Structure 1
């Protein structure tokens, strides 16, 4: 008998999906219409051509080729080790103009002017910066602004061409003198868009970001208004969700299901072959941590590693690219391996040659992985000729660093995984009525993970001219992957495991899953807009982006409630075989709520994000949500498979449980001793001074004690990783040994 509440929830979900997709499509159209224009030419008042649109576009390409987004940032997006190039060039341009006008009007330096004289000079500079003269897509600057522009871009070109151990910058070999000048022109263009007012309004293309009193950039009225509206929306949503969950969704205590997988059944060939996937997870995880440890150390000692000059061999941007891509790979492989392992249990059958396909996929994954790591390094080092860096090197976009060829290979590999799980699921899908069972949802979630990656490959053969539009599509992948399809898979996979373990009934699982999916897609789709406040997008994202971003917290709140219920079930089960897997799933629920929900929610409100954007508080959110939510989930799913791979003979919970607590202690110490102390001080520095100061080496040098205090958290976290990696390797070997003994 069909559950009437589930039936209603499915209809609501369909309305939410169509409605949110429609809003997002409308927002996409408005984004293309409102993206900052790229001037055909920038000329001085006397007619000198300073730069052209070709310089800006070529500079954007050079910026990506050198992967400078993994050293510093543009519009606050990228790495936080180096400066924000947008804020830095904007501030320097205004300083130069102030000095020039002080000399022209008062024959002295700016710092020697009286207060009234400074006000006069500042007013003139701000007027010129905020009210550009654009006609027929030609931007005309005063001779003073033009002279200041030339000084700034030449200075930036020089900085890009020379290694600076004080700042930790390593000369990018891909940047010739011409490319470096074009890159400086591109940086200047982003700074111009951040201060030049949109036609007909009194704020810039970036909604007056970054905060810099020198140029008159302060929060807009919309930034204030939508902050309070979104907070009110969140509070109302919490009340509504909690009421509906406990009134209509939450299962009564006696509503438990039947254990579907009893004991340790004989494994299929494809299940036995997942062991090498799990060992790969351990190996890639260790590589990621090693890169992360070196990166963290560079904040304390920018010129090397305990006196060793390794920064030229392993510059920060190389390590950042490796750190991110290995994280994506090992989390993906853990999900891929666990998905392959789970499918035969669901369908009760294994298609012919499934094991062969699993082997082919494994080889393909490692081919892409090795090619990616080699390409990342070769591209940044400038070893790839012509435009081949775009195809086989590093595209220079944080989270999407892979060359286009590697992206296409990964895309194909993900769909091969979908094909593998679809073959295994097919008997179960045919046996279920309708299209909304847990089995169907599991297939949809896998398909959506593969399909969503396509949006990171626009246009297919070369870069976009506009950085605003490039970053728009980058966030389509990054956010909709994490807050959309990843959450989709996490919710469904967790629900199914609880069903097969007999913790909850199928009816309750499907009801709860559909309710959480409504909330996930309600916030996850349109909520992507909170990444688009300050990158040249139209103001609409301040409104709908902020409101729907807070909806993302609501399903994560339910994960805490459910984690408490899981713990009760686990304590009541004597000799429970899946303590490790469920412990990691509970940890994932906690960090999903606290790392993604609480720490993400704290920085998503427009007024807070205006000052916080691109600071260490974002790092706290990123680390605890990426590993805490999705990493722990992947490890939990992996240990679920390992439990059956090993069976009763030779299993031990202790190493994995110890590793779990080492991870949690490590993340807590990161927050208490590094991310939060530096982040809140950085937030204060933005508010009291300017964003450009808060991202400067001068500021970071005042936080060296806290930078060194990153080490205790790293030690605990690395200890957990080493212990877990050894445990995975040992358990896979035991599983293989047990299988050989049973079949001897």
Structure 2
């Protein structure tokens, strides 16, 4: 079945418009259907318990003090501490039961016999099984009592500190702010058990699972999980049929001349682009070291291998889990992005034999700006979370406090500006291709992919700390999910296609066709697939069927990427192929993309599974396999390719990089499959048989079996750290054997440029 590039381009436009309409309508519904922030919360006698201003202040405290990277809200955030929604709801049930037990029987709930406990539990469940019809939130006397008790609990826990929970002293600066945060958490608990007007389930589709409050999985979760399973089988078959039917060319090294590293000149702009590599490597090394610390925090919550007790070093106060986690996430994004940016600026001269005037100078300026943003952003996180940035500046210069969007708004503007500058430099470098190819050409695809990353990032500027948490989460996931499942996947297929062309393994026209088809599938499934993040955060329940369908269909492009990776492996199988090592990384990226984003992602995104799993270690396994396995290995593959082209063949030594490759892969397998996923499955069982709050409790993490599984992560983490150290050391070695750049670049100096420019 022959499909023309122009036909695919038209389909992409149609899909883009469809996505825009659906998600635009979703944005409107997000504002209309978000859980209401009441003017007042009143008790049975009319006394005001809390008000909307304090609830908004509590959300500000939640962000300012980095609480989303210690625990989570509505299941989103870190999994080290409690989920504040589930925790507040669980405490509310406990305190209400004690209130009624004392009122009716003069004893605590735990002292009652089973019949009396059942009677009290039914009263509490009846109180909480309510709907909201507008106006003030009206509490029963038991709810007023529970609310005040939760306030006191949160003051003791988050202001005074709780080392058993890994909470440092003054994590929240004042008692007043801790009480405001408790009001915010209790508001999220309220809309998790309160039915929508004229509805049969709560604003969160009855999440989290808490039998004592009457929260249980809805019928829609079961129905759409079954439908998703049917779609999985049909979608996988459709994907395989489509891939075989459209006759996409596979890369092949037979009967062609693959340009040797010594056949191409290295131009000044490429030497400048290489400087992104050591910067990214430093960020990468810092990230994995912090990852080791974070993993150990689950075992020793107030120290690190006894350092605090032996040497008196207060690890928990100097570097709390929340700050370490924030840095760990941001460093991961930054080193991968920096590597991709460098690769995107290294490849154009290789393809065109053209270097614009002063391109290397501008690339150096971009790198310098990135360093400033990185240092400023990471410093601001620590200063903001520790209260050194007062007033509204904490949000501008410090820690915005939302997972994956932690740095202050000024630094976010800097990141956005960096993407735009990169796009401008890429346009300059690719100009010979852009001038001669249609708008759906390969060079255009690279720009569209990079531009979409910048465009989606702007969604992070559409809310403030006072914005309703449900609306905040709507826009935050626009950035996070649409990057990972949309723009990043688009960039992967585009950059791999460009790399294959630079090696003469595919013609430009063939690569364009393959990239466009995969981009069509990624856009057609991944963008609206963001909706599975909206099931439990207070968004309308229409997202359950939509998210179920599109999350399942996300597997189809990943099947394509896996199949392509296998084709790439076959292409490099010849002993004479000079780029086997870069291709090892690229193939590993495709495999891990399928395993992490595809297999593990599909499993946890079935609505019925996700209802109990949301915010557990199963998500940790999915995230690490997808982020490092897919995007990280692609970045490292591009680094290897760039270095190999920049070093004379007789001086090239890939043994250290090969050792690092196997350390990373074996380490990731051990970490994910020996430690992280087993913990996640045990959490899933605990959530299903007990409650979600129980699965996220310190009591769960402190079980001997769970602690053993945490220790079992040590070999995998050690291998990943070792691989990164080897990688960083190898970069230092290779720094001294890089070839000199050509001073007078021309198309004749590039072994591949003439063929590409002439391929029409």
Report if the CA contact (8 A) 2:42-2:139 is conserved. Answer: yes
SS at match of 1:301: coil
Partner of 1:555: 557
SS at match of 1:646: coil
Partner of 2:239: 241
**Higher mean C-alpha deviation, range 140-149 or range 100-109:** 100-109
User: Structure 1: which 5+ runs fail to align?
Assistant: none
Report if the CA contact (8 A) 1:81-1:299 is conserved. Answer: yes
Separation (CA, whole Å) in 2 of partners of 1:198 and 1:172: 37
User: Structure 2: which 5+ runs fail to align?
Assistant: 309-314, 746-760
1:421-460 map, 5 Å: 421-432=426-437, 434-459=438-463
Separation (CA, whole Å) in 2 of partners of 1:502 and 1:654: 25
Separation (CA, whole Å) in 2 of partners of 1:259 and 1:65: 57
Residue 90 of structure 1 deviates from its aligned partner by: 0.5
**Higher mean C-alpha deviation, range 655-664 or range 168-177:** 168-177
Partner of 1:101: 100
Report if the CA contact (8 A) 2:457-2:479 is conserved. Answer: yes
Separation (CA, whole Å) in 2 of partners of 1:102 and 1:128: 14
Partner of 1:80: 79
- RMSD across aligned positions (CA): 1.9
Deviation per CA, 1:428-453: give whole Å up to 9, x if none: 10011x21111111111111112211
SS at match of 1:273: helix
Separation (CA, whole Å) in 2 of partners of 1:598 and 1:60: 35
Partner of 2:480: 478
1:187-266 map, 5 Å: 187-251=185-249, 261=259, 263-266=262-265
Partner of 1:543: 545
Task: Flag the 1:737–1:513 CA change in 2: closer, same or farther, 3 A.
Answer: closer
Separation (CA, whole Å) in 2 of partners of 1:542 and 1:368: 38
SS at match of 2:400: coil
Residue 628 of structure 1 deviates from its aligned partner by: 0.3
Task: Flag the 1:444–1:261 CA change in 2: closer, same or farther, 3 A.
Answer: farther
Residue number among 567, 571, 574 corresponding to 1:569 in the alignment: 571
TM-score by length of 1: 0.96
Partner of 1:728: 731
Residue number among 382, 387, 390 corresponding to 1:382 in the alignment: 387
Separation (CA, whole Å) in 1 of partners of 2:436 and 2:7: 23
Separation (CA, whole Å) in 2 of partners of 1:501 and 1:133: 63
Residue number among 709, 713, 716 corresponding to 2:712 in the alignment: 709
The answer to whether residue 688 in structure 2 is matched with residue 683 in structure 1 is no
Separation (CA, whole Å) in 2 of partners of 1:197 and 1:373: 41
Partner of 1:528: 530
Separation (CA, whole Å) in 2 of partners of 1:173 and 1:583: 45
Separation (CA, whole Å) in 2 of partners of 1:493 and 1:260: 18
Separation (CA, whole Å) in 1 of partners of 2:512 and 2:275: 32
Task: Flag the 1:92–1:214 CA change in 2: closer, same or farther, 3 A.
Answer: same
Separation (CA, whole Å) in 2 of partners of 1:362 and 1:53: 44
Separation (CA, whole Å) in 2 of partners of 1:407 and 1:101: 50
Separation (CA, whole Å) in 1 of partners of 2:355 and 2:256: 23
Report if the CA contact (8 A) 1:163-1:169 is conserved. Answer: yes
SS at match of 1:51: strand
1:6-155 map, 5 Å: 6-132=5-131, 134-135=133-134, 137-155=135-153
The answer to whether residue 514 in structure 2 is matched with residue 512 in structure 1 is yes
Separation (CA, whole Å) in 2 of partners of 1:218 and 1:174: 32
Partner of 1:367: 372
Separation (CA, whole Å) in 1 of partners of 2:467 and 2:498: 45
1:310-349 map, 5 Å: 310-349=315-354
Residue 4 of structure 1 deviates from its aligned partner by: 4.4
Aligned length: 735
Partner of 2:178: 180
SS at match of 2:138: strand
SS at match of 2:193: coil
**Higher mean C-alpha deviation, range 146-155 or range 372-381:** 146-155
Report if the CA contact (8 A) 1:646-1:738 is conserved. Answer: no
Residue 118 of structure 1 deviates from its aligned partner by: 3.0
**Higher mean C-alpha deviation, range 116-125 or range 297-306:** 116-125
Residue 261 of structure 1 deviates from its aligned partner by: 4.8
Residue 656 of structure 1 deviates from its aligned partner by: 1.0
Report if the CA contact (8 A) 1:285-1:330 is conserved. Answer: yes
Deviation per CA, 1:316-349: give whole Å up to 9, x if none: 0110011011111100110011111001122321
Report if the CA contact (8 A) 2:268-2:742 is conserved. Answer: no
Separation (CA, whole Å) in 2 of partners of 1:157 and 1:133: 29
Partner of 1:352: 357
Task: Flag the 1:529–1:97 CA change in 2: closer, same or farther, 3 A.
Answer: same
